[in-house]
Structure 1
Amino acid sequence: MAQLSSSFTMENPVFECYAFYSSILILKMILMSFLTIIQRMKKKVFISPEDLTLNPIKASTGEVLYDDPDIERVRRAHLNDLENIPIFLITGLLFVASRPAEMLAMNLFRLYTLVRIIHTSVYAIYVVPQPTRAIMFIIGVIINIIMIICILIKMHQF
């Protein structure tokens, strides 16, 4: 039991790396809400009529829309994060508990964070044609699968 609990301390470089990159991903998900707000303000498109009253000067030029393509693109990128990053957070934590090879774990955490940032960038900020976004998504899925396989192999050894 002492071995397992020592996996989740900052003295474990794998956990420290996991905590660092997970924090970046969580912050990224939080910031996606603000990216949506910025896009709404820029386009003067709001989600509900009461939002028009936040700025009476812009109220006369703003409108309530539910299908603006630019805003929906940012929202879809945020939704994609909400669907994928929690899986990584859980899988990564189980991966840390399995005491993986330090270099493998750290590089998987780094790469996953990088591909999620690139995914959002090419989806919601600087729109790049496919297959760039699909490739980033697939790399993220493969990283989760690699970690899951490592966890299952480690569990089988017990």
Structure 2
Amino acid sequence: MATLMEEEVFMAFTTYATIVLLKMLLMAPMTAYFRFNRGAFANEEDVALKPAEERKKLFRTHPDVERVRRCHMNDLENIVPFVLIGLLYALTGPELSTALLHFRFFTACRIFHSIAYVGALPQPCRALSWMLGLLVTFSMAYRVLGKVLVL
């Protein structure tokens, strides 16, 4: 394990995996911020201490809150596979420059995807950033299977 931590590719993977995982974690407080800021709560217990009339106004959805929440869900669908496949990819011993290209490109795509999603940028901004990030993950998966495929 100590020698693995000294490998440059593994350290690069660890760096970029941590960045995208932190980005994903920060979406939850951002959702909470939008909920409080827009006065739109998803659960009755969130507004239980408010007067009855105010509860009716606060127990609702808001497009901005839903946009941030959907962005967070999209992160779960994309970042988790990247981390798992990226770990396997890093263990196959790729060239550092190629690995860095994969890790950096995916990270940039996910950050831009969140900006496009939350900022409601016009399509195809969000779709392209999602698709390119997905292609990076598929590229790493292809490399893993090409290196270790045993049937």
- Say whether residues 1:23 and 2:22 are aligned partners: no
3-state SS of paired residue (1:46): coil
1:70 aligned to which of 64, 67, 75 = 64
Aligned length: 148
TM-fit CA distance, 1:60: 3.6
- Say whether residues 1:117 and 2:108 are aligned partners: no
Q: 2:148 maps to what in 1?
A: 155
Q: 1:12 maps to what in 2?
A: 7
1:128 aligned to which of 114, 121, 129 = 121
Q: CA RMSD in A?
A: 2.1
TM-score (norm 2): 0.89
TM-fit CA distance, 1:156: 5.0
Distance 2:63 2:45 in 1: 21
Q: 2:29 maps to what in 1?
A: 34
TM-score (norm 1): 0.85
Query: 5+ unaligned residues in a row in structure 1: which ranges?
Result: none
Contact (CA 8 Å) 1:7, 1:15: kept in 2 or not?
no
4+ aligned runs moved over 2 Å, structure 1: 5-8, 59-62
Distance 2:77 2:3 in 1: 27
Q: Structure 1 residues 6, 106: closer, same or farther in 2, change over 3 A? A: farther
Contact (CA 8 Å) 1:91, 1:147: kept in 2 or not?
yes
- Say whether residues 1:89 and 2:83 are aligned partners: yes
Distance 1:24 1:36 in 2: 19
TM-fit CA distance, 1:49: 2.6
